[in-house]
A and B are shown apart, each in its own frame.
Chain A
Amino acid sequence: MPNATRHVHLFDAADPRRRELALEDLGGALSRWRLAWALARSDIMHRYRGSVLGPFWLTLSTGIMLASLGILYAKLFRIDVTDYLPYLAVSLILWNLVSALVNDASVCLTGQEGVIRQMPLPYSVHALRSVLRNAVIAAHNLPLIAVVFWVFGLGAGWTLLLAIPGFMLVMAGGFAASLLLGMLCARFRDIPPIIGSVMQIAFFLSAIIWKPEMVGHWEPLLPINPFFAVIEVVRAPIMGTTGSLFTWLAAIGWVGALIAVAWSFFVRFRGRIAFWV
């Protein structure tokens, strides 16, 4: 449905005003946060329609996975479960968030073909919807961390406050990735399977099931991996440390670079999206 607030619409191919239109798109999406929120909520409701537990299936399945993986890997790595399981809980829940953000990003535009080709709507609404949906899912999983900490008698310190900017960084990166990957995957249909494979490899490379100190003198180099960096800036504060300065710089650098690339792509190719999906 057309934009009710924009009463004058001018487009001149000789003077495409791409930056201005891209900014307008972002502004339009932010002013429609209610729409993105309603769509994100309905996505989750549809997924669990008619089920008794509803979205709490997410909580339950994550919980079971944590318990089984935690006990098994503690045994394999010969670490104490009390030491390992809380770490795994935080890592795995954050990884699930990051990987869902990336995987959903690849279909956030192609999946909305019906809307995109029928009504003018800011494209960033679709990116916002994807990010909000994953935030809701994360909200169903994050309390598990509290449960695990309580079971193992761990407390949280002041560093927990640092997890908030870390989390914002993850979400900002998720939004930028949704725009960028959404566009790339609409134009080049070979990219979604590539992303799938990359994420699978990243899971093993990003210190999710193993601890950073296990790689010995390589540990300081880990933040070169963007997935490690953005996860660590949330994980370390939850685990009671601040995380190294290099990790924070790497996380900010990676997310900043992602935003810059996504923005330049968005400015340049926004007008082509309707032809790509």
Chain B
Amino acid sequence: MALIDAAGLAIEFPLYHHNARSLKQRLISSSGLRLRKDDDNRIVVAALRDLTFRIGKGERVALVGPNGAGKTTLLRTVAGVYEPVAGRLLVEGEIGSLIDPAAGMDPLLTGRENVILRALYRGMTEAEGRALAEEVAGFAGLGDFLDMPIRGYSAGMNVRLAFAMATAMTPEILLMDEWFLAGDAEFMARAEERLAKLVTGAEILLIATHDMGVVRKWCTRAIKLEGGRIVADGPVAEVLGPVPPAPTPQPGLRSAMS
């Protein structure tokens, strides 16, 4: 059963490869908010501070908040990239992550070879990877491009491939950063359909985005981060407020990130 449970979660980025002394002088004095000195007298950026939340099965959660609020850091922490400096994090369920579409891809390999490589990253065998490639080919709709080196792919084609790979493995928890909005309208419609299926299978979706249209359409709950803290957590309508009466974008076309 899928579950994400965080209690007092904190992530700090030490600033190692900078001139610490000049940073100290410039930053500590001006904005003491997120930069501080830790016990070893190092300068650290508090990326996430004291996060406590629980996401259960079937929830579709949007992470919203301004740039630098800690949305992507939280996604990576849930994925298991960063080890928290404080607090406790329990993640139950197989994770599919759509955080960086290019990570682990080899631009010189073909789309198909990349799918097989990705399968190896996940600890599968090459044969399983080949089977997965067939599945991905069906969904990504890349046609002959699947057997071309991906360095010739457009941004949208990369997104298609990455999305198809991440969701073909039917993860129980899907982590998603906002880049997937680069797909074209036709693909977005199919992606939506696939996500809907994924979520109705009692899974968790955790998505970081600035696009409130996506949040209202796909999510049931929103967590608003600001300066690494949770400032609001609840049903989408409650956190975002009423739908603004602005002219709605054409169906299928997403507004650019605000």
Contact = CB atoms under 8 A, between A and B. Distances in A.
Interface of A: 1-5, 7-14, 16, 28, 31-32, 34-35, 38, 42, 46, 49, 114-121, 187, 189, 271-272, 274-276
A118 B92 contact: no
Contacts of A272: 83
Given A13-B85, A35-B120, A8 B91 contact: yes
Nearest to B90: A10
Nearest to B85: A13
A248 B166 CA distance: 50
Given A1-B104, A31-B123, A118-B76, 11 more contacts: A1-B103, A1-B118, A1-B166, A2-B94, A2-B122, A4-B124, A32-B120, A35-B121, A114-B102, A118-B81, A120-B81
A50 to B, nearest CB: 10
Interface string B95-132: 11101101110101100000001101111111000000
A4 B94 contact: yes
22 contacts: A1-B122, A2-B94, A2-B95, A4-B94, A7-B92, A7-B94, A8-B92, A10-B89, A13-B10, A13-B87, A31-B123, A34-B120, A34-B125, A46-B108, A49-B108, A114-B100, A114-B102, A117-B76, A118-B103, A119-B104, A271-B83, A275-B16
A114 B88 CA distance: 26
Contacts of A118: 76, 81, 99-100, 103-104
B21 interface: no
Contact of A1 (B87, B97, B106): B97
B121 A14 contact: no
Contacts of A9: 80, 89-92
B14 interface: yes
A120 B103 CA distance: 11
Nearest to A14: B88
B100 A189 contact: no
Contacts of A121: 121
Interface residues of B, number: 46
Contacts of B83: 11, 16, 271-272, 274
A117 B85 CA distance: 16
Contact of B97 (A2, A49, A274): A2
Given A115-B104, A117-B76, A118-B99, A12 B121 contact: no
Contacts of A35: 117, 120-121, 123
The residue among B13, B96, B122 with the most chain A CB atoms within 10 A of its own CB is: B122
B86 interface: yes
Contacts of B13: 275
B84 A13 contact: yes
B111 to A, nearest CB: 15
Contacts of B91: 8-10
B47 to A, nearest CB: 10
A239 B121 CA distance: 41
Contacts of B240: none
Contacts of B118: 1
A191 to B, nearest CB: 13
A272 B172 CA distance: 27
B109 A42 contact: yes
Contacts of A274: 81-83
Nearest to A2: B95
Contact of B80 (A2, A42, A46, A115): A2
Given A118-B104, A119-B104, A2 B123 contact: no
Nearest to B100: A118
Contact of B82 (A46, A189, A275): A275
